[in-house]
Amino acid sequence: MSAPSGGYSASTSIVVDDVTKSFTLRYHRTLKQMAVAAAKGRDISGKFNALDHVSFTVEQGESIGLMGLNGSGKSTLLKLINGVMRPDTGTVLTRGRIAGLIATGAGFHPQLTGRENVFLNAAVLGMSEAETQRKFDSIVEFADIGRFLDSPVGHYSSGMFARLGFAVAIHVDSDIFLADEVLAVGDKPFKQKCLQKMQEIRDSGRTLFYVSHAAGSVRKMCDRVIVLEQGRLAFDGGVDEGIRFVKYDEPEKGAGDELGTEDTDDELGSDI
């Protein structure tokens, strides 16, 4: 990944230019099933485009709500922006340090304790050991996992994974923050605490990419919506228009929480 150049301004944060990313689907799991299928002239695998010629530009400080049905390509897009994957065709350019939580528990070693994984995950996200030491108490306080800090994370619940992962990511000094499935697990007070932290990120002038199915939190957090449909860019524009486009504007249960979202408990993640 490199900084945008050429026709892009000094304030350009992310450039996604004609990006396609394909994966292979295996229709049969065992050698016997594959042999039988091949003998009968059936396909044993096929390709699909998780992202199909996607292009857009993001300026520094924009807060993007990334929306779409599960399987539409949202997580794949975030992984390309984060550098975890590379596109098959097209280019992805970013400016500055990237942090965030794009998969619950990503970068954790199940046999290491929570304490050890804080340092491991922080190093993966680009923090030095001295920086992690300096922020360690604040990370632990935010995660609020108590005595489980010194237990192997392989014994953690999905909610505890999310707490620790988000606590580390939120303490990285970054220019771009990616949040995918960050509110898919955990209790409501923790989700509210996460939203408050992301509001601080947005207000600080950092670029925010926020995957969500909840119309209320997207309205609260974002100033622009990008919608993917079957890997293609289907909408890029205003928040209210984007929410109407994906038909997520129906009233949600639990309206009126203190953050102004309809219901943070309705947050969902995505697989592709």
The predicted pLDDT at position 34 comes to: 62
The predicted pLDDT at position 140 comes to: 94
The predicted pLDDT at position 158 comes to: 78
The predicted pLDDT at position 181 comes to: 62
The predicted pLDDT at position 71 comes to: 85
pLDDT in tens, the chain (272 residues): 444 445 567 789 999 999 999 987 665 566 666 666 567 666 555 677 899 999 999 999 999 999 998 889 998 999 999 888 899 999 999 999 898 877 655 668 889 999 999 999 899 888 999 999 999 999 999 999 989 999 999 888 878 888 888 899 889 999 999 987 666 556 778 888 888 888 898 899 999 999 988 888 899 889 999 999 999 999 999 999 999 999 876 554 443 343 444 444 344 333 44
What's the fold here for domain 12-37+44-96+175-266? Rossmann fold (3.40.50)
The predicted pLDDT at position 131 comes to: 95
Predicted TM-score (pTM) of this structure: 0.78
The predicted pLDDT at position 257 comes to: 41
| Strands of the sheet with 12-26, listed across from one edge | 45-59, 12-26, 89-94
